[in-house]
């Protein structure tokens, strides 16, 4: 798992004089004073991590934001590509990559938010000036619609990048589903995450347009199982059996795509399923504790499975009701299928009827959704007692390419080569 680093990093204000995309990202190149950062690996102390200014390395064989530790805040955006020019799209991906490398290191975009030509808009929007990296990660994905023939990519669509089927109970909003591209921004500081998406959208003006976006808080799954398991808005621990970011064997088996899977450009990448799941909060809050625990198959306090005393005790599935969520989602009920989850809670005001528009923004990475999310969700959609309290209202599927290996590499290079 990629670790946070304690390398020197200039403040976001020390960016004047950066002459354009592709220049060195060090303190000397940025022309600022280096700030010594402290290493932070405690996922349960986001305030400490944020105040320490921890930065997650951008370059590597896999994109950060998948197996790396999960920060507390999310801004996820799906984009439609509006340009019809392949060269413009390629240049945008190069520009986005350069900007992402700077943003995740705690620097502003381009020449910064001030000090440039007074007659021109600044390169950076400025709301993150003075803020530290806050473990920001930026992760890009390509949707099925990008391979429709506009950019000569039709033959490069991976077989695994299927159109997700409609599941029983789905009530999907087209305005909150799909997208040619996606960018997942995770950080300990919500302003850092929003700033990153805002600046990428601004760089893409005229070439891409935001199709939909989602803010999230309070991670509902963790890639660091030695830390305290987070809870969802129903008050239950979520992600007890999630794949650990340090479990290389499980990551290779269940998360990372391989050349043997049929799309060489995806080797080292993964497939992301994003689902916006509305929770019927008011109904749940009037449900008895016993029924709540029966629905999940775990107790609400410790998170222990039925008949067990500790959260991580191996569950006895037959002791649970046949309709319990844990029993139906467990790998033993799904031919061993596993996913790496990075979900977040959300609250988006009300629905106009006096009820909270709240729920879970489900994010799951896997080697192939046909072997993971799709069969698991079919199992859940048929019988899960939790379906009385939730509804899937948004959906998307993206091919997430491998990481950017060095300063000469860029998001999607192998796809467009």
Q: List pLDDT tens digits, range 2-32.
A: 333 333 333 333 332 333 333 333 333 333 3
**What are residue 415's phi and psi, to 5 degrees?**
-65, -40
253 close to 365: Cβ distance less than 8 angstroms: no
Neighbour tally for 24: CB within 10 Å: 10
Taking the CB of residue 50, how many other CB atoms lie within 10 A of it?
22
Spans in the chain with pLDDT lower than 70: 1-53
Residue 191 confidence (pLDDT): 98
Pairing state between β 344-350 and 356-366: antiparallel
Q: What are phi and psi of 123, to 5 degrees?
A: -70, -25
Q: What is the pTM of this model?
A: 0.87
Closest CA to 221 of 344, 68, 392, 57: 344
For residues 392 and 408, what is the distance between their CA atoms, to the nearest angstrom? 40
pLDDT of residue 93: 98
Cα(366)–Cα(61) distance, integer angstroms: 16
Q: Check: CB of residue 112 under 8 Å from CB of residue 16.
A: yes
Q: 3-class DSSP state for residue 215?
A: strand
Give tens-digit pLDDT for 383-411. 999 999 999 999 999 999 999 999 999 99
Which has the closest alpha carbon to 5: 42, 51, 39?
39
| pLDDT, position 28 | 32
Beta-bridged to residue 77, according to DSSP, are 183, 213
CA distances from 167 to 95, 296, 384 (A): 38, 20, 13
**pLDDT score, position 45:** 43
């Amino acid at each position: 798992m990629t670790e946070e680093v304690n390398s020197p990093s200039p403040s976001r204000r020390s960016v004047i004089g950066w002459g354009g995309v592709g220049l060195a990202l060090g303190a000397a190149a940025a022309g600022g004073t280096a700030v010594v950062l402290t290493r932070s690996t405690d996922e349960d102390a986001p305030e400490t991590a944020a105040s320490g200014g921890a930065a997650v390395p951008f370059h590597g064989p896999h994109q950060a934001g998948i197996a790396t530790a999960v920060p507390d805040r999310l801004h996820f955006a799906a984009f439609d590509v509006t340009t019809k020019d392949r060269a413009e799209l390629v240049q945008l991906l190069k520009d986005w990559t350069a900007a992402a490398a700077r943003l995740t290191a705690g620097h502003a975009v381009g020449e910064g938010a001030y000090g440039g030509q007074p007659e021109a808009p600044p390169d950076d929007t400025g709301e993150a000036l003075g803020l530290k990296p806050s473990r920001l990660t930026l992760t890009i994905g390509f949707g099925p619609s990008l391979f429709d023939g506009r950019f000569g990519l039709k033959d490069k669509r991976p077989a695994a990048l299927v159109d997700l089927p409609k599941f029983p109970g789905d009530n999907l909003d087209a305005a909150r589903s799909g997208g040619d591209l996606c960018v997942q921004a995770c950080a300990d500081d919500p302003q850092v995450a929003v700033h990153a998406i805002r600046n990428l959208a601004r760089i893409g003006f005229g070439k891409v347009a935001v199709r939909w976006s989602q803010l999230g808080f309070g991670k509902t799954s963790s890639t660091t199982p030695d830390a305290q398991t987070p809870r969802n808005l129903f008050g239950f621990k979520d992600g007890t059996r999630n794949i650990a970011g340090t479990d290389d064997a499980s990551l290779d088996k269940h998360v990372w795509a391989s050349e043997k899977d049929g799309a060489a450009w995806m080797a080292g990448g993964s497939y992301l399923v994003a689902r916006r799941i509305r929770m019927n909060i008011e109904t749940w809050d009037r449900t008895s504790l016993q029924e709540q625990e029966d629905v999940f198959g775990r107790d609400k306090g410790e998170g222990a499975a039925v008949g067990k005393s500790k959260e991580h005790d191996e569950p006895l599935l037959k002791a649970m009701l046949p309709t319990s969520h844990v029993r139906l989602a467990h790998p033993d009920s799904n031919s061993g299928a596993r996913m790496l989850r990075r979900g977040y809670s959300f609250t988006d005001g009300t629905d106009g009827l006096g009820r909270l528009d709240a729920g879970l923004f489900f994010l799951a990475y896997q080697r192939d959704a046909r072997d993971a999310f799709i069969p698991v969700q079919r199992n859940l959609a048929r019988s899960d007692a939790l379906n009385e309290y939730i509804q899937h209202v948004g959906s998307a599927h993206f091919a997430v390419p491998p990481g950017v290996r060095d300063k000469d590499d860029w998001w999607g290079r192998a796809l467009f080569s």
